[in-house]
Structure 1
Amino acid sequence: MPKTYPFTLDPFQQQAILCIDNGQSVLVSAHTSAGKTVVAEYAVARSLKRRQRVIYTTPIKALSNQKFREFTAEFKDVGLMTGDITINPEATVLIMTTEILRSMLY
């Protein structure tokens, strides 16, 4: 399951992964391109191994589209929901904008 990377994980990534392994909830906040997706990929892979469904949210459509492309290359069953497009909404890994998730919840 663990994906290997051509770089050493930063301390915040190592800490987050350790917390995930211990069954704790994790909130990762870091600047753009800091490596938050590494933690997300790990959490998604771990959840899929446990046969759980995953919702990954992003603040804007362009980022949802980017993550959809990236996750589709990494995982098998990925869907996308933005205000403009819906692809495979019953997918095990569903990427959506926070606006769409908020609308679904309320």
Structure 2
Amino acid sequence: MSTDSKVLGLQTPPVAAPLSLRDLAILLVKHYDLNDGMYDLMVGYHVGTGGVGPTKEQAVPGVMIGVSEVGLVPSSNVGPNTVDASEVNPKKKPRKKTD
């Protein structure tokens, strides 16, 4: 994805390249220290309804949607953004003690 602020519609450019959905799922697998299983990204939304418009006089019935949470859900079907925890966050083997 481009980091050009005009393309993204941002006032300032992002600090780094934005994460893809798969990249975000990998990051969460590592954050939760999951070592096995398949996972998909979950996105939760809040939906609000009401008058929407540039002015009170031009308001029309509308819907507003906001992202409220992101997380992981176990997956039994492999899709393009499914993450295999054993590949992206394998269990660390314990070090052998040296005497």
The TM-score bracket by the shorter chain reads under 0.3
Q: Which has the larger radius of gyration?
A: 2
TM-score (norm 2): 0.22
Higher helix fraction: Structure 1 or Structure 2? 1
Work out which structure has the larger RCO, using CA pairs closer than 8 Å and 6 or more positions apart in sequence: 2
Higher strand fraction: Structure 1 or Structure 2? 2
